[in-house]
Amino acid sequence: MAKGRPVFNEDRCKGCQLCTTVCPVDIVHMSERINSRGYYTAEVTDPDKCITCMKCARICPDVVIEILREATKEEK
């Protein structure tokens, strides 16, 4: 299965927590950091466990999350 790394644009996050509810491997949580808009932001606690399902990116209403897909050995 392809591996990926979720990247959050923290300044655009409004802390709605929707992404935390859909992660099948439970690695998306709310952080203690507050962004420039005054919201607690979401973060990935263990990016190595990401299975690149993209559920977090799809549910985000503000398109805050991007999944950077890592090339497999066959693609290199």
pLDDT recorded at residue 29: 97
pLDDT tens digit string along 51-75?
A: 999 999 999 999 999 998 876 666 6
Domains and CATH numbers, the chain: 4-69 (3.30.70.20)
pLDDT tens digit string along 28-57?
A: 999 999 999 999 999 999 988 999 999 999
Residues 8, 48, 36, CA angle at the centre, nearest 5°? 20
Q: Which residue has the tokens 């992660």?
A: 23
pLDDT recorded at residue 72: 63
Q: Which residue has the tokens 């999944």?
A: 67
Q: Assess whether pLDDT exceeds 70 at residue 6.
A: yes
For residues 66 and 36, what is the distance between their CA atoms, to the nearest angstrom? 20
